[in-house]
Amino acid sequence: MTSREAEEVPMRKFPDSRGHPVSRRSALGLAGVAAAGLALSGCGDDPVPQPITAPPPDGVLGANFNGDPGRVTFAELENISATWLRGFFPMPQADRGAVPEHPVIRMLTTAAAKGYGTVLSLKFPYAGEPLPTPGSPAMTTALRRLDAVLPEVLGKVDILVIGNEPFIECRPQDRVQRLNVCYETLAQHVIAYRQRNCGADCTTQLYLGALNRLDRPDWRTPATERWLDFTRDTPALSGVDIHPHLQAPGDDRRFLDYVLPRLRTDQKFLATEFSLVLLWKQHLKDPVDPRFADRYRVSRSKKVWQVVRDAIESPFPQQKWDDFLALSPWFDNHREFLRDQVDRFRETSRLAVATYGVTQDTAMVTGFGPDSMPWLFNSVFCPFVVRAGQDGLPGRTTAWAGQFRQLQTR
């Protein structure tokens, strides 16, 4: 253990995510002990588990499953001492049956009932059609979907994010005034609904989200300025979400230096997705490190993406996956990214919750090739490329799992 890993966290009292006083360390300790009673199933099938106590949204690191909770188990969350969980809900799904039974909603409300802190992002996918305008039939549909979802989550999830990645999930020609008008209309509807139905003391905080690629000047536009102006000037909003998927460590500063001065001093930020995936992508076509090639008797001309594809086709033993990453300088030189990044977020004193990818999903490995976006390197658990361990849990990226646990008590 390094000196950084051994640092002690000062004991100070917080309310938990639902307002009850508990120390941060006690809350996290309770999570690790009490969650031992949780079953290996995903949601709803656990035999009378003991509750955990989530710390408040103040510098927290949680687990993110995006839109696919099917491979996340409470046993995995307990293994890495997670106490917060995040996912997103695609709003068109509100038309397809009972909202409470949708896997994303059910996973988060089940987690909330167990004592986890929860973040739900509402995803409005309009990449193939115009964004709705106020008064249009499309906006009527969007608001009707909100009215189907909001009663199932307000007062149950801790944080509701209006939007997932709005500037990506729309047509390029809509990333100007049309986008702002659309999301301001959606946000005002959510705010009014919460006030009318959940009351002034509603426990669900509202954020607007999420902003992407702010490390690039061409993504800092009049629309992003207006986005942050609206967030700052709307008292009911607690802050904004950002998704710093980076090409290099430290590029998050461009996000934070742009966003934080534009918020009220009482507002915070979320980082419900963050990673070095753009750096990983730069190295997919590199030859595998010769040390790995020689140790595992593969051709030195084999490329990184081909090794990954081999692992997808026949999952590696844990040691082989560990060696593949440790003997790849492009990964090993940044193996402390998770800890360093969360530390930088926390140093601002403005982080509410950051969430990191807890497990791989099918989309990450389907058709994997030299030009794929290698999200699978980000995941803590790696069920598609690493064999399950003797404990019955999926294989993992060891560096991320260890740092995730350490960050719960730092």
Query: Which amino acid type is present at position 59?
Result: G
Is the separation of the CB atoms in 204 and 150 below 8 Å? no
Tokens, residue 395 = 């294989």
- Find the DSSP H helices in 285-386: 290-295, 304-313, 318-326, 329-332, 337-347, 362-365
User: Beta-carbon neighbour count of residue 1 at 10 Å?
Assistant: 7
Q: Do residues 406 and 384 make contact, with C-beta atoms less than 8 angstroms apart?
A: no
Query: CA 240 to CA 237: how far, in whole Å?
Result: 8
d(CA 59, CA 28): 13
Dihedral angle of Cα 392, 398, 401, 405, to the nearest 10 degrees: 110
Cα–Cα dist 326/226, whole Å? 44
Domains of the chain (ranges, CATH numbers):
13-278+345-360+395-407 (3.20.20.80)
- Look up the pTM and report it: 0.88
- pLDDT tens digits in sequence order for the chain, 410 residues long: 433 333 323 333 334 444 433 433 334 433 433 333 333 334 444 444 557 899 999 999 999 999 999 989 999 999 999 999 999 999 999 999 899 999 999 999 999 999 999 999 999 999 999 999 999 999 999 999 999 999 999 999 999 999 999 999 999 999 988 999 999 999 999 999 999 999 888 999 999 999 999 999 999 999 999 999 999 999 999 999 999 999 999 999 999 999 999 999 999 999 999 999 999 999 999 999 999 999 999 999 999 999 999 999 999 999 999 999 999 999 999 999 999 999 999 999 999 999 999 999 999 999 999 999 999 999 999 999 999 999 999 999 999 999 999 999 87
Closest to 208 in 3D by CA, of 146, 121, 145, 132: 121
